[in-house]
C-alpha cells in the first residue's frame, strides 16, 4: 500500500472504528491529516463518556485544533468511516476544514441529506472511499445489537 493516499488514511480511520467496536461504541473512526501527517485520531466515545456529542469527528476536531493551536483547520483533511451527522458537519463548518472524506453514506442521519452547504464553502468533499468495508462494520455492529 502506498503511503499518504486517501486509501491509506481511510484505513487508519477504520483502525479507529475497530477501537470503538472493542469499547462497545458505534464503529466510527476519524483521523485528521495536515501535510500528510496524522495530527488527530479518534473513535466514538458516546457510551464511555455518557455524552451524545462525543462523536469521533468532534473529538478529532478538538484534538487537531489543540495540536495546531488554532481553531481553524484550513489545510487539514478529515477521514471518517461514516458520513458525518449534521452536528459534526456544523463543527466542521466552523473549523473551516479543508476537506472531508467519508466512507459509508448515512442516509438516515448524514449531513448530505441537507446538502453540502452545511460545510464551509471552501471545504472539498469526497465520499465512498472503502465504503464496503465501512458499511459492513456498521451493519455487523447493529445486527449483533438486534
Residue in 25, 57, 77, 83 annotated catalytic: 57
117 is catalytic: no
Q: What is the DSSP string of the chain?
A: --TTSHHHHHHHHHHHHHHHHHTTS---EEEEEETTEEEEEEE--HHHHT-TT--HHHHHHHHHHHHHTSS--TTEEEEEEEPPPHHHHHHHHHHT-SEEEEEE--TTT-GGGT-GGGS-TT-EEEE-TTHHHHHHHHHHHHHHH-
Active site residues: 57
Amino acid at each position: 500500500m502506498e503511503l499518504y493516499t486517501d486509501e491509506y488514511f481511510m484505513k487508519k480511520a477504520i483502525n479507529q472504528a475497530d477501537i470503538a467496536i472493542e469499547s462497545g461504541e458505534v464503529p466510527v473512526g476519524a483521523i485528521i491529516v495536515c501535510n500528510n501527517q496524522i495530527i488527530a485520531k479518534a473513535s466514538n466515545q458516546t457510551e464511555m463518556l455518557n455524552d451524545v456529542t462525543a462523536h469521533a469527528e468532534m473529538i478529532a476536531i478538538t484534538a487537531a485544533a489543540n495540536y495546531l493551536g488554532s481553531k481553524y483547520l484550513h489545510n487539514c483533511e478529515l477521514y471518517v468511516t461514516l458520513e458525518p451527522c449534521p452536528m459534526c458537519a456544523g463543527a466542521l463548518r466552523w473549523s473551516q476544514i479543508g476537506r472531508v472524506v467519508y466512507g459509508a453514506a448515512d442516509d438516515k442521519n448524514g449531513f448530505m441529506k441537507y446538502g453540502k452547504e452545511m460545510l464551509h464553502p471552501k471545504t472539498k468533499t469526497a465520499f465512498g472511499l472503502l465504503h464496503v468495508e465501512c458499511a459492513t462494520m456498521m451493519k455487523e455492529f447493529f445486527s449483533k445489537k438486534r
